[in-house]
Structure 1
Amino acid sequence: MPAECNGRCTDCPYDFCAPATTRARPTKAEERRGWKQDALFELEELGDLYGVDPGVVRL
């Protein structure tokens, strides 16, 4: 990285530079929502596999 580039500029000419508006890592709340969505998807898949009616199961 060149000395004049801090990696946070919005109009950087370098390809490796990330804009300041992007986050390198999701927030904790975003991670929890992602985990919950993944878990619900897996439960639906397991319900389909084993013939469990989704209306009977409380999630």
Structure 2
Amino acid sequence: MSACTGRCFDCPHEFCGPEAPSRRPTKAAERSWRLEALFELEELGDLYGIDPAAVKL
């Protein structure tokens, strides 16, 4: 069993019901998620002492 909840826009699983989103997230939302993820990666790098120049994002 996968960890999928069936709520993603393009979910390939058959158990996705009608409650799944019917449209794709906006480009602004996707950019926001990407920026948040990059910020979290930087924070984790600081926490574990990883040089950001050594990691390709």
Structure 1 length as normaliser, TM-score? 0.54
Instruction: Flag structure 2 segments of 5+ consecutive residues without an equivalent.
Output: 1-24
Q: Distance in 2 between matches of 1:58 and 1:47?
A: 12
Higher helix share: 2
Structure 1: gaps spanning 5 or more residues? 1-26
Deviation of the 1:44 alpha carbon: 0.2
Q: TM-score, normalised by structure 2?
A: 0.56
What is the count of residue pairs matched by the alignment? Answer: 33
**Bigger relative CO (Cα 8 Å, ≥ 6 apart):** 2
Amino acid across the alignment from 2:50? V
Give identity over the alignment, percent: 58
Aligned to 2:55: 57
